[in-house]
């Protein structure tokens, strides 16, 4: 019995010491739930957008006063064929130039004074060549241009009227008028009647003003095109067919053929070049 009492006393002592040690160490004796993880808190941040500082705008350049045009420059009508525009010369490329052609010789004026076909075609060409020969060298640039006149010449060769129809260069018109005023005396007109015609003077290094072709001057004139559907809105609508030109009678045809000269190589070359300028295309290469 004493032995059992000693064992029980020892257990009580050990239990008492264990309880004291647990109390001293802060061991919890009650059952508690495990700590929960803290919930995430959503934060809202407000950002204020500040615009960048404005850059100072450059002031617009002040308008320069335009230079007044001393001579009027009229625009040609839309149905008038003009030479193709040429590009402006670059600084590393010299400007193109074309010397003035020689004036008509005495033989050329003698032929022009007796050629009556096509409204004195030879006289009109020689007159234009004489004017161009007195205008000097044409240089590529803003001075080059084309001017068209309406000319009336009296039967004795005196110039009675010069009217500018249009021009693309005031300088070209000025030079042409100076040449017309200083022209030498001209021969009488071939028909003995006043000669009225329109003439274009090309003051350009790219002009092709060669002699005309005379071989077709005795053929009937092609019919003049008129719009068959043009209508004034009031009169009855009638589609007018073009009327062909009647051929020359035998005597007039013989007189015309007698005046035809033999076309020169220069005339053939100039005619081909005019056709190339009119119908050629840079896209097809011809």
Cβ pair 203, 138 in contact under 8 A: yes
Residue 124 domain flag: yes
Residue 225 domain flag: no
Cβ-defined contacts of 269-278 (< 8 Å, 24+): 269/210, 270/208, 270/209, 270/210, 270/211, 270/212, 271/210, 271/212, 271/213, 273/208, 273/210, 274/208, 274/210, 277/83, 277/84, 277/208, 278/81
Collapsed DSSP state (helix, strand, coil) of residue 272 = helix
Mean pLDDT to the nearest integer, 75-101: 66
Q: Indicate if the pLDDT at residue 256 is higher than 70.
A: yes
Angle between helices 170-181 and 117-133 (to 10 degrees): 100
Q: Is residue 154 part of a domain?
A: yes
Euclidean distance between CA atoms 186 and 156, whole angstroms: 8
Calpha distance 142→200 (Å, rounded): 18
Distance CA 52, CA 187 (A): 84
Position 67 scores a pLDDT of 43
Is pLDDT larger for residue 164 or for residue 86?
Answer: 164
Give domain status of residue 203, yes or no: yes
- Arithmetic mean of pLDDT over the chain: 79
Q: Is the residue at 113 inside a domain?
A: yes
How far is the C-alpha of 233 from the C-alpha of 277, rounded, in Å? 39
pLDDT for 55 equals 63
Give the torsion sign (CA, 131, 135, 136, 142).
Answer: negative
| 3-class state of residue 147 by DSSP | strand
Domain membership flag for residue 29: no
Q: Do the domain assignments include residue 222?
A: no
DSSP 88: P
Closest CA to 74 of 169, 177, 178, 199: 169
| CATH value at residue 142 | 3.30.1150.10
- Count the Cβ atoms, other than its own, within 10 Å of residue 161: 12
- The answer to whether residue 89 scores a pLDDT higher than 50 is yes
* Domain count of the fold of the chain: 1
Question: Residue 22: pLDDT above 80?
Answer: no
Top-confidence range, 12-16, 160-164, 203-207, 255-259: 160-164
Judge residue 262's burial from the number of C-beta atoms within 10 Å of its C-beta, 0-12 exposed, 13-18 middle, 19 or more buried: exposed
> Rounded to whole angstroms, what are the CA distances from 147 to 1, 32, 100, 182, 241?
155, 115, 16, 18, 35
Average pLDDT over residues 228-232: 82
Indicate whether this model's pTM tops 0.85. no
Task: Report DSSP state, residue 159.
Answer: E
Domain holding 157, by residue range, is 97-208
User: 136 in a domain, yes or no?
Assistant: yes
Q: What is the pLDDT of residue 34?
A: 54
């Amino acid at each position: 019995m004493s032995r059992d009492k000693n064992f029980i006393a020892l257990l009580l002592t050990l239990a008492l010491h264990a309880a004291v040690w647990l109390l001293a160490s802060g061991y919890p004796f009650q059952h508690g739930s495990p700590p929960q993880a803290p919930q995430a808190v959503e934060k809202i941040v407000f950002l204020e957008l500040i615009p960048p500082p404005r850059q100072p705008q450059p002031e617009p350049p002040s308008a320069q006063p335009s230079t007044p045009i001393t001579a009027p420059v009229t625009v040609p009508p839309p149905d008038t064929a003009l030479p193709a525009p040429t590009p402006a010369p670059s600084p590393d490329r010299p400007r193109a130039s074309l010397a003035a052609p020689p004036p008509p010789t005495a033989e050329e004026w003698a032929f022009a004074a007796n050629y009556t076909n096509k409204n004195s075609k030879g006289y009109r060409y020689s007159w234009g060549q004489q004017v161009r020969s007195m205008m000097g060298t044409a240089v590529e640039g803003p001075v080059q241009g084309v001017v068209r006149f309406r000319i009336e010449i009296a039967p004795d060769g005196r110039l009675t009227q010069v009217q500018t129809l249009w021009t693309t260069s005031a300088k070209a018109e000025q030079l042409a008028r100076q040449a017309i005023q200083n022209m030498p005396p001209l021969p009488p007109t071939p028909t003995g009647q006043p000669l009225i015609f329109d003439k274009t003077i090309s003051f350009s290094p790219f002009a092709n003003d060669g002699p005309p072709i005379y071989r077709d001057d005795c053929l009937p004139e092609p019919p003049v095109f008129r719009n068959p559907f043009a209508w004034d809105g009031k009169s009855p609508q009638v589609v007018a067919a073009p009327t062909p030109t009647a051929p020359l009678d035998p005597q007039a045809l013989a007189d015309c053929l007698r005046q035809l000269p033999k076309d020169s190589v220069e005339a053939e070359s100039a005619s081909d070049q005019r056709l190339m300028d009119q119908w050629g295309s840079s896209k097809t290469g011809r």
